[in-house]
A and B are shown apart, each in its own frame.
Chain A
């Protein structure tokens, strides 16, 4: 069995004291421990941002890639080595601005990986600019008179894009978040988890108190059924997206890997296990078509 310390390296996070991302790091550690995932069987792929530094704080395999492009990279990792647990992490700028195209396509494609977005409604690393998730009226360096673009309703976007697993949490709700990450990792297909993670330095508006006041747990919504797509959409709309818990899941769609296998046959083992020349017979049969 692994213990929390197994995932710890000796790098001190360069996050500000009080940053929400610490809580996300702790929750991921708990989930990995509870699922007993060996550090060498885990690849944590991230983009660029304060949040994306998270991969460097785990004693596992990890790749800190480019701004907004962690998802395609992570899908490559998973498709090359199916035996790995692949977790992707980043911020709301990374996921919903520069990387939104990849986010929508990763959701649609449904490769069996888990995406955790630390949503603080602001750009932290570049020192406080508006994000696609910023509230209307939010004052930042690039919205001095208040942000006036409508924030992207991300859980609705995910569901509309064909997501098979959509969850939302708040890093303070540790038990809920750990449970969702575990469920996400165990989900067969792409699991999407948006986590509110306050930026204490550049977002004084969406503070810890603000989230506490505004978030509603889906456990408290009467008759909520996370397998009901239209109910999920309607509830998100009603609560302006400020919900936590498992928002939507569809369990029998099958991952990209399974869909591909149903058309082309399944790989006998992870591709990485056999990097070798094709057999002479196979190669001859390919060449024959050109003779």
Chain B
């Protein structure tokens, strides 16, 4: 039998039942052991109650998606089996409470092992149903064949603060669950596969949102202004939690207009400033961003995309802010829009966002999606120095030539590359006026037709080199010519990578690019891959072909473009992409 390289474990029940904390214990321990992990939390937009699941893919090699067919499903309630039973693979396992009645007819005739066990009764032996999650954890550890000791340690550590009695009860619940499965295993006959113990790796296990916050800190940013919103709040919460340690100022403002303007004021004053929001907040920032473009202010705005329009589905993933990020601000709006292709990139690419903002002196929209922001992945430990701080044409005060009143510093000088030298308040001999009005080289309001044309051209000319400076996509193209060029953004990377492998196995030649740079559109860099593909399939999580339209606008041979859309709020899976590609071929 082929040795397994990965498992998917999923636990489901009602919000507030400790599903997530149970998953966290499992993941934290396995990450320490050296397994590569990708977790996925599915939850309803309410605080207590409502269906929730925690999925964890446990692998020997790094993985980029939670995957699709579940090996072990732990169901605390009927809803979990009803909703997720059909995700269990042939030969997979369901552990459920004895009261739960799986409807096997729905499972497509798949042979599935079902362990209906007295989860609730076992928990009640310790006096509370609240320990059902710990009982289930014990069951899972037994079934997956992991060492008990680190789990016992983690449980003890988790409840130590409460009392020794609570620690003991939880440990007993864990042991009882463990023992129940061991007994059953013998009766099942089949022994579930186990994963070999991997080599220890220097890795971290964290949310995309946490990786973003660490990235901002690594980029030298110690200023954030923000307003809470799902699925972005964790970034501000982390920054505030660490405010004293990192010597930062983080302000929770009255709304997102204020967040954006406060960050802009701080960026104008010379710090690396950012704000973090989701779609509704991005809409509110539109007018401010238009000013940032006009006044050439290097502000970084993070938009963790969720499902829209309006309040939409706040806890579901979508990639439907592409148009808004590129075009929500009025006028001839010059900005940069980038998107990370993984949780690891949330850390490195946000640092580049700060570099881009200062180099090109314009707003940069950094767009991960909910799937990245709110899910945890194991990543190689971060390298603080991989992305150096680059501040572009920021002038040193000592280098400024003397300035004679009433002349100002030419902050908006019409240079060849369109990028002007930049001073900040406080610099002697660096005075300039900053305004959202059209202005001349010194920043004085100027409405002469020729000046508006020159300054507009300058604001766009400077962006011409962005795609050369910034790596515009993740290159996963190993064929010279291919049948299909797969394009994705943000969290779809893992699904696309796995789809590519499956399609190749069927004899289809597939190249895959995961786009990082959305605006300005990297036509020149895409062309070599694009021209040598028979078909180009653009995978995006929205209904309106927002990314596909960009290809239609910026690329030739529009006939070869097809899109693979998904807008049900759930992330792409490899099978979904494989099916879509097969239809196009």
Chain A residues with a Cβ under 8 A of chain B: 5-6, 8-11, 38-41, 43, 45, 48, 55-56, 59-66, 69, 71-81, 83-84, 101-102, 105, 260, 263-265, 267-268, 271-272, 275-278, 280, 282-283, 285-287, 290-291
Contact = CB atoms under 8 A, between A and B. Distances in A.
Interface stretch (B146-154, B258-266, B367-375, B464-472): B258-266
Given A9-B405, A283-B217, A291-B32, A76 B264 contact: yes
A40 B428 contact: yes
A68 to B, nearest CB: 8
B103 interface: no
A79 B434 contact: no
The 6 closest A-B CB pairs, nearest first, are: A76-B265, A73-B265, A76-B266, A80-B269, A80-B266, A72-B258
A280 B432 CA distance: 37
Given A48-B436, A80-B223, 13 more contacts: A5-B405, A56-B433, A64-B433, A64-B435, A66-B261, A75-B251, A75-B265, A76-B268, A81-B271, A83-B426, A278-B384, A286-B214, A286-B242
A39 B431 contact: yes
A278 B434 CA distance: 31
Contact of A79 (B223, B437, B445): B223
Given A61-B425, A283-B217, A287-B204, A66 B433 contact: no
A64 B436 contact: yes
B389 A66 contact: no
Contacts of B287: 66, 69
Contacts of B261: 65-66, 69, 72-73, 76
B288 A66 contact: yes
9 contacts: A63-B268, A69-B261, A72-B261, A79-B266, A101-B258, A275-B391, A277-B218, A278-B217, A290-B210
Contacts of B243: 264
A9 B406 CA distance: 5
Contact of B249 (A40, A101, A271, A277): A271
Contacts of B206: 290
B427 interface: yes
Given A84-B425, A286-B245, A287-B381, A105 B254 contact: yes
Contact of B217 (A38, A78, A101, A286): A286
A271 B425 contact: no
B405 A73 contact: no
Contacts of A271: 222-223, 248-249, 266, 271
Contacts of B220: 275-278
A59 B431 contact: yes
Interface in B230-285: 242-249, 251, 253-255, 257-259, 261-273
A75 B426 contact: no
A72 B265 contact: yes
B433 A278 contact: no
Contacts of A48: 436
B254 A102 contact: yes
B265 A63 contact: yes
A81 B384 contact: no
A81 B425 contact: yes
Contacts of A268: 247
Contacts of A83: 426
Contacts of A276: 220, 389
Contacts of B257: 69, 72, 102
A285 B217 CA distance: 13
Contacts of A265: 244, 247
B203 A264 contact: no
A274 to B, nearest CB: 8
Interface string B15-34: 00000000000000001100
A277 B214 CA distance: 11
Contacts, number: 201
B434 A8 contact: no
Contacts of B254: 101-102, 105
B265 A80 contact: yes
B435 A56 contact: yes
Contacts of A45: 265
Contacts of A40: 425-431
A88 B10 CA distance: 55
Contacts of B424: 81, 272
Nearest to A277: B220
Contact of B389 (A11, A39, A275): A275
A59 B406 contact: yes
A102 B258 contact: yes
Interface residues on B, range: 35 or more
Contacts of B445: 11, 56
B267 to A, nearest CB: 8
B319 to A, nearest CB: 26
Interface of B: 31-32, 203-206, 210, 214, 217-220, 222-223, 225, 242-249, 251, 253-255, 257-259, 261-273, 287-288, 291, 295, 381-382, 384-385, 389, 391, 405-406, 408, 424-437, 444-445
Nearest to A48: B436
Contacts of B225: 72, 76
Contacts of A75: 251, 262, 265
Contacts of A59: 405-406, 431
Contact of B265 (A10, A74, A263, A280): A74
A80 B431 contact: no
Contacts of A275: 220, 270-272, 389, 391
Contact of B268 (A77, A286, A291): A77
Contact of A291 (B204, B244, B430, B432): B204
Contacts of B384: 277-278, 280, 283
Residue from A71, A72, A276, A278 whose CB has the most chain B CB atoms within 10 Å: A72
A81 B270 contact: yes
B426 A41 contact: yes
B185 to A, nearest CB: 33
Given A272-B269, A276-B389, A65 B262 contact: no
B426 A84 contact: yes
A277 B210 contact: no
A61 B266 CA distance: 14
Contacts of A64: 433-437
Nearest to B387: A277
A287 B225 CA distance: 23
A81 B269 contact: yes
Contacts of A74: 265
A284 B426 CA distance: 33
A83 to B, nearest CB: 6
A199 B391 CA distance: 44
A6 B223 contact: no
A286 B426 CA distance: 32
A72 B268 CA distance: 13
Contacts of A277: 218-220, 384-385, 389
A79 B267 CA distance: 11
Nearest to A64: B435
Nearest to B428: A40
Contacts of A81: 269-271, 424-426
Given A277-B218, A287-B382, A291-B381, A272 B389 contact: no
Contacts of A291: 31-32, 203-205, 381
Nearest to B31: A291
A85 B405 CA distance: 20
A6 B381 CA distance: 54
A97 to B, nearest CB: 14
A60 B218 contact: no
Contacts of B248: 271
B27 to A, nearest CB: 11
B426 A65 contact: no
A233 to B, nearest CB: 24
A140 B233 CA distance: 44
